[in-house]
């Protein structure tokens, strides 16, 4: 009959579960199962930390609550990491952050827009003609990149009194 191995941990480890623990030493975090090290990463490597803890949750080695308690991180952070791991796998933690799209108001578009505004076209009409969002045009006007021409208002004329 096979003998069951007890989980025996070296001194100085912090338990995540009864079978899983981690140890910080010499700038590295080492995850151990009993005496067997199973993963190691730099102490400041946050993407790898999120990836391995999410992997522990997805494989059933630890629960999200156990990870949050053991490392003192918010539960929502663990949940987001687990979601990313399930959707994109380990590579999802190392892809570059998404950035904004290209600038819509290029110098050429700004020139066309200003010409239309100078010709008396309203900002909303000009945005529609150039295929821009009205909000984008309004932001450019507020930022001073576009100048809306002031509509001339008719000054009410006061009737003159006859001179005597």
Query: Cα(30)–Cα(42) distance, rounded to whole angstroms?
Result: 9
82 closest CA partner among 56, 47, 109, 104: 56
Claim: this prediction has a pTM higher than 0.75: no
The pLDDT, as a whole number, for residue 153 is 59
Taking only the tens of pLDDT, the chain with its 164 residues reads 565 555 666 677 899 998 899 999 999 999 998 778 999 999 999 999 999 999 999 999 999 999 999 999 999 999 999 999 999 999 999 999 887 766 888 888 889 999 989 998 888 898 998 899 999 889 888 888 888 876 655 566 666 776 66
Determine the Cα–Cα distance for residues 29 and 73; give it in Å rounded to an integer: 16
Which of 14, 9, 82 has the alpha carbon at shortest distance from 52?
82
Confidence (pLDDT) at 147: 86
């Amino acid at each position: 009959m096979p003998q069951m191995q007890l989980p025996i941990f070296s001194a100085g480890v912090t338990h995540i579960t009864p079978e899983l623990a981690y140890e910080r030493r010499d700038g590295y975090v080492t995850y151990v199962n009993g005496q067997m090290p199973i993963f190691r990463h730099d102490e400041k490597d946050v993407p790898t930390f999120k990836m391995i803890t999410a992997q522990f949750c997805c494989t059933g080695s630890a629960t999200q609550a156990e990870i949050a308690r053991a490392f003192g991180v918010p539960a929502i952070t663990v949940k987001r990491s687990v979601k990313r791991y399930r959707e994109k796998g380990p590579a999802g933690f190392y892809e570059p952050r998404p950035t904004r799209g290209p600038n819509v108001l290029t110098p050429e578009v700004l020139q066309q827009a200003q010409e239309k505004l100078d010709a008396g076209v309203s900002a909303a009409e000009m945005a529609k003609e150039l295929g821009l969002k009205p909000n984008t045009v309004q932001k450019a006007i507020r930022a001073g990149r576009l100048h809306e021409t002031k509509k001339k208002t008719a000054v009410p004329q006061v009737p003159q009194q006859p001179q005597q």
